[in-house]
Structure 1
Amino acid sequence: MDSLLVLILSAAAMTAIVGTRYLLVSGAFAWATNIREPGLYAGLDIQIKREIGWSLASAAIYGIPAGIVAWGWDSFGWTQIYTDVNAFPAWYLPVSVFLYLGAHDTWFYWTHRLMHRPFWFKAAHAVHHESRPPTAWAAMAFHPWEALSGAFVIPVLVFLIPVHVGALGTVLAIMTIMGVTNHMGWECFPKFIVNGSLGRWLITATHHQKHHDAYRGNYGLYFRFWDKMCGTDLGLGDWSRRPHERG
């Protein structure tokens, strides 16, 4: 098969995978929200349709570079992705996951903080903050410029940091689940985690909701490290009222 056609098919397949993953995971947590917090998304039908539309557009922006990387890896052996679990010591598997999450979190923090500068907020990031309050469908609701800023992080990292295909899948699963649960409007993690020592460094919905309430600070994706280092950690949100009841 012509290599260009294979490349196009790979990009299309990855776009479909990213889009389907979004619909399944966001749909599952939206369903859980209707059970756990009935009525939380009442009156948000138009907003949710808009979130789904922006998110599916973002799926294509994320899927195309991922498809190019998958094509290069399969056809030419590009990237540092490996399949032999014995190629590196066993301890490297969790370390590689942490390296990817740490690098992604660093990029996200600084680009997200940039997106809150007046020019970039108006040009791109305002799309994400039009969700008031965000729902389980909002995790990928980005303007194309903002989606583009995040779409190349993992594809670039696979050329730089060796990673087992299973560890890479773990990173993508964490990225998807954290993105959705941080936006869905209620805390799914138990209080002993959120209010404990782990919660002081881990971002959950309680932390990220504060960002959507205040429109500043709490810029991280997985960890509170950069927020704490840079003085932008606003602490945890107030869940005494439902998100749509907040001012």
Structure 2
Amino acid sequence: MLTYTIEYCVIFVLLLVTAYVVPAGLFHYFFFTRCSTATEAMRIQKRRPSSQDIRREIRQSVSALLLFSAYCLIVYHAARNGATALYFEFAQRPWWWAAAGFAALVVLHDIYFYTTHRLMHLPPLFKTVHAGHHRSLTPTPWSILSFQPLETISQFGFFALVIFFVPLHPATLLAYLLFDGLVNAAGHCGHEFVAPASQQHRLLKYLNAVTHHDLHHTRFRYNFGQYFNILDRLFGTFLDRPAA
């Protein structure tokens, strides 16, 4: 029992730092602590989040990570017994496999996220699954993992699928968690730091900007994608840059 407790604590701290504190802390520092005239000009909403909002977001995010850590402990022991598709020696795969695996995670996660996110907005599910995250009408970087228990299971369920079917090195997974945290923190920072003109580029326009996800928090019915807005455009749920 002591061994499991230690393993759980190590996993929790690793996830807390990699997937939450580092990405959320960086964006909080640049846009809320070290604010300037330039960053204020990037602010999307006039309404400012309160300290009570931030404390709630942190509490919910830590709770989500406590639950996710329990899942990771199960996965860790499954991997040790060879029950997953994870591999632990880079030499087991070609040199390009790690990069390809990372790219696959980005694409697959975006599809998974759009699908589950839209489902969570259905009236029968919204209140019990997703409403907690939308209490952040003016989101902050600390809201990136602010999930209710069922949403936590849904969001992290993606990893429950890929590790059993996609050969990945644990380092690739950790790198992806950090990347995902940084992109999420950017999307919840409330400041549009990418020039609107750049977002009209024939390729870049398919990437979600901060404004797109900020609009999701205020309009609810639009912009369900994680990294890309391709599925939003295809299914008529894309909303682009009206005043928030």
> What is the TM-score with the length of structure 2 in the denominator?
0.85
Secondary structure of 2:90's counterpart equals: coil
Residues 140-176 of structure 1: per-residue CA shift (max 9 Å, x gap): 1111111111122113211100113332222112111
Q: 1:122 to 1:42 in 2, by over 3 A?
A: closer
Letter in 1 for 2:16: G
Partner of 1:48: 54
Matching of residue 168 in structure 1 with residue 168 in structure 2 = no
Extract unaligned runs of 5+ from structure 2: none
Matching of residue 137 in structure 1 with residue 137 in structure 2 = no
Letter in 1 for 2:17: T
Partner of 2:64: 58
Whole-angstrom distance in 2 between the partners of 1:220 and 1:15: 27
Whole-angstrom distance in 1 between the partners of 2:167 and 2:49: 46
Whole-angstrom distance in 2 between the partners of 1:68 and 1:193: 43
Letter in 1 for 2:7: S
Whole-angstrom distance in 2 between the partners of 1:26 and 1:84: 31
1:9 to 3, 6, 19: 6
Partner of 2:184: 179
What pairs with 1:93-108 in structure 2 (closer than 5 Å)? Answer: 93-108=98-113
Matching of residue 19 in structure 1 with residue 7 in structure 2 = no
Secondary structure of 1:168's counterpart equals: helix
Whole-angstrom distance in 2 between the partners of 1:188 and 1:7: 43
Range 118-127 or range 198-207, more displaced: 198-207
Secondary structure of 1:57's counterpart equals: helix
Whole-angstrom distance in 1 between the partners of 2:149 and 2:219: 24
Whole-angstrom distance in 2 between the partners of 1:43 and 1:171: 28
Partner of 1:243: none
Range 86-95 or range 212-221, more displaced: 86-95
Q: State the Cα distance separating 1:61 from its structure 2 match.
A: 1.7
Contact 1:128 1:143 (8 Å CA) reproduced: yes
**RMSD, matched Cα:** 2.3
Letter in 1 for 2:30: A
Q: State the Cα distance separating 1:17 from its structure 2 match.
A: 2.2
2:120 to 110, 115, 118: 115
What pairs with 1:164-243 in structure 2 (closer than 5 Å)? Answer: 164-189=169-194, 191=196, 193-234=198-239, 236-238=240-242
Q: State the Cα distance separating 1:188 from its structure 2 match.
A: 3.5
Extract unaligned runs of 5+ from structure 1: 241-245
Whole-angstrom distance in 2 between the partners of 1:153 and 1:164: 16
Whole-angstrom distance in 2 between the partners of 1:193 and 1:56: 35
Contact 2:49 2:139 (8 Å CA) reproduced: no
Range 137-146 or range 197-206, more displaced: 197-206
Whole-angstrom distance in 1 between the partners of 2:133 and 2:83: 34
Contact 2:84 2:165 (8 Å CA) reproduced: yes
Residues 55-101 of structure 1: per-residue CA shift (max 9 Å, x gap): 1101112211112212332x323322223333223333222112112
Q: State the Cα distance separating 1:191 from its structure 2 match.
A: 4.9
Contact 2:23 2:178 (8 Å CA) reproduced: no
Q: 1:67 to 1:215 in 2, by over 3 A?
A: same
Matching of residue 71 in structure 1 with residue 69 in structure 2 = no
Secondary structure of 1:177's counterpart equals: helix
Contact 1:12 1:67 (8 Å CA) reproduced: no
Contact 2:208 2:227 (8 Å CA) reproduced: yes
Letter in 2 for 1:117: L
**Structure with larger RCO (C-alpha < 8 A, sep 6+):** 2
Aligned pair count reads 235
Contact 2:132 2:146 (8 Å CA) reproduced: yes
